[in-house]
């Protein structure tokens, strides 16, 4: 047990069993040392007859008999009243230390009785004085003899303390309840201990081979005190006090972020937390500094009490090596996101110990070296390559896979394979997200093409149409599409994504530029367009609309097909076919318009404006056809071994 921090928290009831044990051991020790002191006096007064016969008594008390025998044999009598022996002063000091340890153990169980014993010891010590290597024979007689006339003596104090310690020992006999070492429990305490230990045992396996989670409990007055060591850090403990109407949890830690993490695990319970206190205590942690927080959970029925106790017990394993895991994760994502991953791993009962046991940050670095050495640079954070959400999602997967594999007894190689496969999937999702941007582009292209098609349809009916408004709308859409393209190129560069996607972005952007030019040309056409031109122009518009739609469908299908497994790429390849057909249809329609214009009797302005309109539409379908060829290359490249 981490006795220093437990004592600092004022939970002496938890220390009482070990103090009783120490007190009883001190009783055996002081009696053996007093016997040695008597032997010193005997040998000094009669060196020829006195022999050392305390070997068995010393060994039983845990004392090395050899130094004691040497001390006795070197004792000499000076002037008939003094005894000189090297080491005699140290023996006398140890006797007082043993007696004071007995009194301390008694005080832990009964403060008044302990204080009374300490006062008696102080009085006797003041009367006899301190023993040195040159001690008075009378001093030794007072320490080792029984007092007369009812006076107090060290011997009497030792006997009285021994009786009290024996009484305490009988009342605090140790037993084990559900894996917890408990002392002085009542029958009503057992369900409480069992609830806490259910929680501990439900997640204990997630610490794997790490030490920790030893639990001790003791009844003290109206309170049941439960203590858990958690891990190896001196100041890292949790103490739970259970009363008739409330559960109080006191948590200490040298790491402030982990302290906040611990309290956050109980968001589903109405726990009233105190403010964080920064404490200092000598002998605890490196500089004696630690944080303390207390939470109080009032309850009305036993089921509520048991629920919070079970939750506390289950949460403890997620505190072991927490800071080590946080440091490993924050090399890959920002500090706040590292804690989010750890919180998720705790709430989903995977934890982080499996991740650390399999190598921690090196586990992920190895996956990067194997599957994405050019996509993710050395020391580069995952969120800079995958994006924040994808990086967090990948690290959650690492926590889950690590824990599941170790619990199932899987091989380290299998774990590494699964993590590498998951990293590939997340990298693919980055490409999929970029393809979704292409889908947005193609949707904007269709919007412009549809506006021009409506203009041609209205020309056929002779109804008025706001050509200038159409052109302004096309301009706004083109500017929006430009911004999207710039954003896409930035993302492609940031994620070091598949460069083929940049070609797709550029092709659609070029198509939009041509469509915007077509909308502008439509504003220059004088009056009504003759009917013999309407049909091929309508066909051109239909080809442009069809091309934009096919580009959107193809990009969307490519985004939804797992990279490296393109067996389901038929939709995307079919869209490529539609793009080629649209381009062929546009070529035919554009030639029909050109023929009509050059062979017919048309005003020059009409010829030039309609010809520019037709050719801009045809060039747009050419750009979409180019998009189709690039999309096909993108798909085929992923099908290659």
pLDDT of residue 4: 54
Say which DSSP state 237 is in: E
d(CA 536, CA 280): 88
175-179, 297-301, 423-427, 521-525: least confidently modelled range: 423-427
Do strands 246-253 and 223-228 pair parallel, antiparallel, or not at all (unpaired)? unpaired
**Together in a domain, 402 and 439:** no
Whether the per-residue pLDDT at 394 is higher than 50: the answer is yes
- 3-class DSSP state for residue 360? coil
Total residue count of the chain as it appears in this document: 641
| Mean pLDDT, range 41-55, rounded to an integer | 81
pLDDT for position 83: 87
How does strand 246-253 pair with strand 237-242? antiparallel
Residue with tokens 């005699």: 88
Note whether residue 422 is domain-resident. Answer: no
454 and 567: one domain?
yes
Crossing angle of helices 137-144 and 154-171, rounded to 10°: 30
Are residues 263 and 298 both part of a single domain? yes
Distance CA 307, CA 132 (A): 60
Higher pLDDT, 401 or 183: 401
Closest CA to 518 of 474, 476, 457: 474
- The residue segments making up the domain with residue 571 are 433-639
Which residues, 6 or more positions from 300, have their beta carbon under 8 angstroms from its beta carbon? 245
pLDDT band at 564 (very low <50, low <70, confident <90, very high): very low
Any long-range contacts for 219-225 (C-beta under 8 Å, 24+ apart)?
Answer: 219/13, 219/183, 219/184, 219/185, 219/186, 219/189, 220/13, 220/184, 224/185, 224/189, 224/192, 224/193, 225/11, 225/13, 225/14
pLDDT > 80? residue 284? no
Residue 606 or residue 561, greater confidence: 606
Residues 20 and 247 sit within 8 Å (Cβ to Cβ): no
Helix (H) or strand (E) holding 590: helix 570-599
106 three-state secondary structure: helix
pLDDT confidence of residue 565: 47
In this structure, is residue 597 part of a structural domain? yes
pLDDT at 641: 38
Q: How far apart are CA 473 and CA 457, in angstroms?
A: 18
Helix (DSSP H) and strand (DSSP E) numbers for the chain: 23, 12
Q: How far apart are alpha carbons 258 and 307 in whole angstroms?
A: 23
Instruction: Look at residue 395 and tell me whether its pLDDT is greater than 50.
Output: yes
- Residue 152's pLDDT band, with cuts at 50, 70 and 90, is confident
DSSP string, 537-552: HHHHHHHHHHHHHHHH
Q: Note whether residue 3 is domain-resident.
A: no
Domain boundary among 294, 320, 346: 320
CATH of the domain at 510: 1.20.58.220
Whether the predicted pLDDT of 285 surpasses 60: no
DSSP assignments along 324-353, one per residue: HHHHHHTTTS-HHHHHHHHHHHHHTT--SH
Lowest mean pLDDT among 139-153, 192-206, 505-519: 139-153
Could you tell me which residues are beta bridge partners of residue 241?
225, 248
Whether 318 and 210 have beta carbons less than 8 Å apart is answered as no
pLDDT digits (tens, 9 = 90+) for 446-476: 999 999 999 999 888 888 889 899 999 999 9
- pTM equals 0.57
pLDDT recorded at residue 640? 45
Do 89 and 200 fall within a single domain? no
Lowest mean pLDDT among 175-184, 238-247, 336-345, 534-543: 175-184
Residue 302 included in any domain: yes
How large is the average pLDDT for residues 61-84?
A: 87
Residues 480 and 585 both lie in one domain: yes
Pairwise CA distance, residues 292 & 8, whole Å: 11
Q: Which residue has the tokens 């039983």?
A: 60
Q: How confident is the model at residue 516 (pLDDT cuts 50, 70, 90)?
A: very high
Residues 6 or more apart in contact with residue 240 via CB below 8 angstroms: 196, 225, 226, 227, 247, 248, 249, 250, 309, 312
Residue 252 has pLDDT above 90, yes or no: no
Q: CA-CA distance, 511 to 517, in Å (whole number)?
A: 10
Q: What is the mean pLDDT of residues 58-66?
A: 84
Name the strand (E) or helix (H) holding 140: helix 137-144
The verdict on residue 505 lying in a domain is: yes
| Higher pLDDT among residues 122 and 560, named by residue | 122
Judgement on whether residues 19 and 70 belong to the same structural domain of the protein: yes
Strand runs labelled E in 161-220 = 174-177, 180-183, 215-220
> Can you tell me the distance from the alpha carbon of 192 to that of 309, in angstroms, rounded to the nearest whole number?
8
Q: Are residues 183 and 143 in the same domain?
A: no
Q: Are residues 121 and 185 in the same domain?
A: no
Measure the CA–CA gap between 282 and 289, rounded to whole angstroms. 8
Average confidence score pLDDT of the chain:
84
Per-residue pLDDT band at 82 (split at 50, 70, 90): confident
Helix (H) or strand (E) holding 247: strand 246-253
21 shares its domain with 118: yes
Domain boundary among 293, 320, 347: 320
Put the strands of the sheet holding 76-78 in their side by side order: 76-78, 82-84, 134-136
Give the residue, 509 or 501, on which the prediction is more confident.
509
Q: What is the pLDDT of residues 565-595, one digit of tens each?
A: 444 567 778 888 899 999 999 999 999 999 9
Structure confidence at residue 261 (pLDDT): 93
pLDDT confidence bin for 282, thresholds 50/70/90: very low
Question: Number of folded domains in the chain?
Answer: 4
Whether residue 309 sits in one domain with residue 333: no
- Mean pLDDT to the nearest integer, 247-276: 89
pLDDT band at 276 (very low <50, low <70, confident <90, very high): confident
Rounded to an integer, what distance in angstroms lies between the CA atom of residue 476 and that of residue 114?
Answer: 89
| DSSP, res 78 | E
Residue 257 lies in a domain: yes
Q: Percent of the chain scored above 90 by pLDDT?
A: 34
Would you give the distance in Å from CA 628 to the centre of its chain? 45
Q: Which of 243-257, 457-471, 488-502 has the lowest mean pLDDT?
A: 488-502
Residue where a domain stops, chosen among 256, 288, 320: 320
DSSP 260-324: HHHHHTTTTS--EEPPPEEEE-TTSTTTSEEEEEEEEEE-SSHHHHHHHHHHHHHHGGGGTTHHH
pLDDT digits (tens, 9 = 90+) for 346-380: 999 999 999 999 998 888 888 878 776 656 666 67
In this predicted structure, which of 48-52, 285-289, 329-333, 613-617 has the lowest mean pLDDT? 285-289
Distance CA 419, CA 399 (A): 10
Beta strands in 93-145 (DSSP E): 134-136
| Same domain for 334 and 301 | no
Residue with tokens 């097909």: 561
Q: Is 50 exceeded by the pLDDT of residue 393?
A: yes
Q: Are 342 and 329 in contact (CB under 8 A)?
A: yes
Top-confidence residue, 296 or 31: 296
* Claim to verify: residue 348 and residue 297 sit in the same structural domain: no
Q: Would 424 be classed as within a structural domain?
A: no
Element (H, E) at 239: strand 237-242
Does the residue 5 lie in any domain? no
């Amino acid at each position: 047990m981490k006795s220093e921090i437990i004592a600092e928290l004022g939970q002496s009831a938890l220390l009482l069993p070990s103090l009783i044990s120490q007190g009883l051991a001190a009783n055996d020790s002081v009696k053996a040392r007093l016997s040695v002191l008597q032997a010193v006096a005997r040998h000094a007064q009669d060196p020829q007859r006195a022999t050392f016969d305390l070997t068995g008594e010393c060994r039983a008390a845990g004392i090395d008999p050899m130094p004691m025998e040497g001390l006795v044999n070197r004792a000499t009598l000076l002037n008939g009243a003094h005894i000189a022996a090297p080491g005699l002063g140290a023996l006398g000091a140890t006797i007082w230390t043993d007696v004071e340890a007995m009194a301390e153990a008694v005080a832990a169980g009964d403060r008044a009785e302990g204080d009374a014993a300490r006062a008696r010891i102080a009085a006797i010590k003041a009367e006899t004085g301190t023993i040195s290597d040159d001690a008075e024979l009378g001093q030794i007689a007072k320490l080792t003899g029984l007092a007369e006339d009812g006076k107090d003596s060290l011997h009497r104090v030792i006997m009285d303390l021994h009786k009290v310690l024996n009484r305490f020992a009988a009342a605090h006999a140790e037993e084990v309840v559900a894996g917890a070492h408990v002392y002085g429990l009542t029958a009503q305490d057992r369900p409480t201990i069992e609830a806490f230990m259910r929680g501990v045992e439900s997640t204990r396996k997630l610490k794997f081979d790490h030490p920790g989670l030893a639990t001790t409990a003791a009844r003290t007055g109206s309170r049941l005190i439960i203590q858990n060591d958690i891990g190896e850090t001196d100041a890292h403990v949790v103490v739970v006090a259970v009363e008739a109407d409330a559960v109080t949890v006191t948590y200490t830690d040298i790491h402030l972020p982990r302290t906040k993490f611990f309290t956050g695990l109980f968001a589903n319970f109405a726990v009233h937390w105190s403010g964080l206190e920064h404490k200092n205590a000598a002998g605890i942690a490196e500089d004696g500094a630690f944080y303390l927080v207390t939470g109080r959970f009032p309850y009305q029925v036993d089921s509520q009490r048991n629920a919070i106790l079970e939750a506390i017990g289950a949460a403890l394993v997620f505190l072991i090596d927490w800071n080590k895991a946080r440091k490993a994760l924050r090399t890959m994502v920002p500090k706040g996101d590292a804690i989010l991953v750890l919180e998720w791993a705790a709430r989903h009962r995977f934890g982080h110990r499996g991740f650390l046991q399999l190598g921690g940050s090196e586990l992920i670095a190895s996956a990067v070296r194997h599957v994405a050495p050019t996509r993710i640079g050395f020391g580069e954070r995952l969120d800079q390559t995958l994006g924040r959400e994808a990086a967090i999602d990948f690290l959650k997967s690492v926590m889950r896979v690590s824990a599941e594999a170790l619990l199932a007894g899987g091989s380290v190689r299998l774990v590494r394979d699964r993590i590498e496969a998951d990293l590939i999937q997340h990298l693919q999702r980055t490409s999929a997200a970029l393809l979704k941007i292409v889908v947005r582009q193609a949707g904007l292209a269709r919007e412009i093409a549809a506006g021009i098609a409506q203009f041609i349809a209205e020309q056929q009916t002779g109804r008025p149409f706001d050509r200038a408004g159409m052109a302004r709308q096309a301009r706004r859409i083109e500017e929006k599409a430009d911004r999207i393209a710039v954003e896409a190129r930035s993302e492609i560069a940031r994620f070091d994504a598949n460069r083929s996607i940049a070609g797709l972005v550029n092709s659609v952007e070029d198509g939009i530029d041509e469509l915007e030019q077509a909308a502008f040309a439509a504003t220059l056409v004088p009056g009504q367009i003759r009917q013999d031109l309407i049909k091929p122009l309508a066909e051109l518009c239909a080809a442009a609309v069809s091309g934009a739609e096919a580009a959107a469908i193809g990009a969307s299908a490519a985004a939804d097909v797992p990279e490296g497994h393109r067996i389901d790429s038929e939709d995307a390849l079919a869209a490529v076919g539609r793009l080629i057909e649209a381009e062929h249809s546009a070529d035919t329609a554009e030639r029909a318009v050109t023929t009509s214009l050059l062979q017919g009797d048309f005003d020059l302005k009409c010829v030039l404006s309609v010809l520019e309109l037709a050719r801009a539409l045809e060039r747009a379908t050419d750009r979409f056809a180019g998009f189709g060829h690039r999309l096909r290359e993108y798909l085929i490249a992923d099908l290659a071994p």
